[in-house]
Chains A and B, each alone.
Chain A
Amino acid sequence: MEALEQFNYPGELSPLRDRMIAELEDVNTLCATYRSRIYRYALLSLKDPDLAETVTQDCFLKAFKARKDFRGDCSIATWLTRIATNLIRDCTRSRKFQFWKTAGSTALEAGDIADRLRSPGISPENSLVVREELVKVWDAVDALPDKQRSVFVLRFVEEMELPEIATAMGLHVGTIKSHLHRGLAAVRKAMEKTR
C-alpha cells in the first residue's frame, strides 16, 4: 500500500517506476522476495504442488520478459499476482486440469493439513476443536468457484487490500466485495453446522 499511496504524485512516478524496474531486473532477488507468496497463491488455487511450481516459474519468467512494459501503477507484488492470476486461469481452463480435478479428491487433503497443523500451547481438547473448525473452513473454501476462491485467498491469506485485489484480478472493487461476501457466507454456514 505504501507504494500505491506514492502514486498520487505524478512527478514522483518516474523515479519510483525506474526503481521498480531495477528491482525487476534482478530476477534472483525478485524470486527470493516473492516466490513463497506467488507459490502459495498458486498452490491454494490449483491444489497441485507441481502445477503451482510451474505457474510460479512462468510468472517470474513472464515478469522478467515484460519488465519494460511495467507501468508502475501498482506494486510489484500486485503486478506479479496479476500475472499469476492469468496463468492460474489458463491452467484451470485446460482440459487436462479439468480431468484430474474430476478424477482426484481433496477430501483427505483437508484432514491431512489439519493433522499437520502445529498449534503449540493448546490443550488436546482445544486442538481437536481447532482441527474440526479448520476442516470445515478448508472444505468450504475448496467448494467455492475458482474466481471466488482466488479472491478469498488474496484477502484472507495474502491479506491484500480490496483495491489491490481488484487490480490483480482485473475486476471492480464492488465485484471483489461481492465475491468476498459470498465466500464468507459459505464459510460461516459451514462453521455453523456443528452448533
Chain B
Amino acid sequence: MNTNHLSAWEQEEYILDERTPQMLRHLTECAECRAAVARLEDGLGVYRKAAVQWSAESLASRPQQVITARKQPVVSLRWAMAAVIPLVLLLIALLPFRTSNPRPVQQTAQIRDDSRDDALLDQVDEQISAAVPSSMESLTHLVSTRDSAAAKGSKHLVQSN
C-alpha cells in the first residue's frame, strides 16, 4: 500500500478534475485520502445546494419583468431626432435671410428721404439767393440810393474838411 498520502494541492487538483492515474490509484488504496476528498466534496455539494435553493426562493418572490418594453422608445426617439434635426438646420439656415431682408428697404427709403431733403434745401437756397421780386425792386433802389447818398455825403464831408 502506498503510504505517501495525497497533498492538499493534489486533493484540490482531484476536485478540479485534474486527475492523474497515480492519484486515482492512490485513492482506490487509501481510505484516509478518500475520506478527506469526500469531505471536501460534500462541503462543496452542500454549499451548491444551499446557494441554488436560496437563489430559487429569492427569484420566486420577484415578478418576471419584460425587457422588450424598453427598446421601443429608443427606436422612436431616434426617428424623432432624425426628423427634428433637419428642421432645426433649415431654420438656422433661413435665419440670416429673415433678418437681412428688411435692411435694404430701410436703406433705400432713407436715401430717398435724404435726396428729398437735399432737393428741398436746394430750393430754399435758390429762393434765398434768387433776385428780388419785381414788385419789391423799387425798395431795393431806395436802399441803394440812400446808400449812394450816404456815400456822397461822406464825400462832401471829406471835401469840406
Task: Decide if B125 is an interface residue (CB 8 Å cutoff).
Answer: no
Q: Assess the A64–B71 pair: CB atoms within 8 A.
A: yes
Which of these binds chain A: B24-32, B48-56, B85-93, B146-154?
Answer: B48-56
Chain A residues whose CB sits within 8 angstroms of the CB of B57 once the complex forms:
116
Chain A residues whose CB sits within 8 angstroms of the CB of B56 once the complex forms:
36
| Minimal beta-carbon separation of B50 from chain A (angstroms) | 5
Q: Assess the A188–B8 pair: CB atoms within 8 A.
A: yes
| Minimal beta-carbon separation of B6 from chain A (angstroms) | 12
Count of inter-chain pairs, beta carbons less than 8 A: 98
| Minimal beta-carbon separation of B13 from chain A (angstroms) | 8
Q: Assess the A114–B50 pair: CB atoms within 8 A.
A: yes
Q: Assess the B51–A184 pair: CB atoms within 8 A.
A: no
Q: Assess the A137–B47 pair: CB atoms within 8 A.
A: yes
Q: Binary interface profile of A, 45-73, with partner B (CB < 8 Å = 1, else 0)? A: 00001001100010011001100000000
Instruction: State the A residues within 8 Å of B (CB).
Output: 27-28, 31, 35-36, 39-40, 43-44, 49, 52-53, 57, 60-61, 64-65, 113-114, 116-118, 130, 133-134, 136-138, 141, 153, 155-157, 162, 177, 180-181, 184-185, 187-188, 191
Instruction: State the B residues within 8 Å of A (CB).
Output: 8-9, 11-12, 15-16, 18, 39-40, 42-44, 46-59, 62, 64-68, 70-71
